[in-house]
A and B are shown apart, each in its own frame.
Chain A
Amino acid sequence: KAGVTQTPRYLIKTRGQQVTLSCSPISGHRSVSWYQQTPGQGLQFLFEYFSETQRNKGNFPGRFSGRQFSNSRSEMNVSTLELGDSALYLCASSSGGQNQETQYFGPGTRLLVL
């Protein structure tokens, strides 16, 4: 099976712009979670989608949003970018079932906000 893929891998934006990141989960996986990783804050949970519905949400401002499509692919959007949004954004997929809690991660999208 192909692993989790994320596009783009690298992105440079300026303050005030918006950005959309994409994640394709492992085939058959219905849950997609997003994380922000920074040197200062470590790995922080953004949100999780399951069957096109947001199932969990972390403590991030409303500028961070996401969605999931019927094929389980997910997008994350950040509006009005700030310098502090520079980070590695990781996507992880799992089957979503109660006994299948293991998440498999993609390679990440490195976002730099100038």
Chain B
Amino acid sequence: AQTVTQSQPEMSVQEAETVTLSCTYDTSESDYYLFWYKQPPSRQMILVIRQEAYKQQNATENRFSVNFQKAAKSFSLKISDSQLGDAAMYFCAYRVFYNNNDMRFGAGTRLTVKP
């Protein structure tokens, strides 16, 4: 079974600084997708960034970037120039490319941004 582990229940960062959230996963598949979702206190889950496992290049979306290490099964999220609006729960998620398997989520990391 595929599992997703987020080892940091809570993280904090000073506004304008950089923070990295960790995620590891366990799978025997070679083709899959990885995602980072953000869930602010309003509860709406928002897609932050997505990575296809067959792409070696790390995905980037503005201030958000990932460090995807396929061999190590690691998928960390880096937030640069942190803003107060980045404060939220961040979930790492995994989905197999084929067979339409369900999405598996990590337990989440609560990010606090200090002004």
Contact = CB atoms under 8 A, between A and B. Distances in A.
A98 B98 contact: yes
A67 to B, nearest CB: 18
A33 B44 CA distance: 15
**A interface residue count range (under 10 / 10 to 19 / 20 to 34 / 35 or more):** 20 to 34
Nearest to B45: A105
A6 to B, nearest CB: 10
Nearest to B46: A105
Given A98-B97, A101-B33, A58 B102 contact: yes
A contacts with B: majority SS: strand
Contact of B97 (A48, A101, A102, A105): A101
Given A42-B108, A107-B44, A50 B102 contact: no
A56 B95 CA distance: 13
A43 B46 CA distance: 14
B100 A43 contact: no
Given A42-B108, A105-B45, A108-B43, A56 B101 contact: yes
Contacts of B37: 105
Interface of B: 33, 35, 37, 42-47, 50, 91, 95, 97-98, 100-108
14 contacts: A33-B102, A42-B106, A43-B105, A45-B102, A50-B100, A58-B102, A90-B45, A98-B97, A101-B33, A102-B33, A102-B47, A105-B46, A107-B44, A108-B44
Task: Give the 3 A-B residue pairs with the shortest CB-CB distance, closest first.
Answer: A105-B45, A43-B105, A45-B102
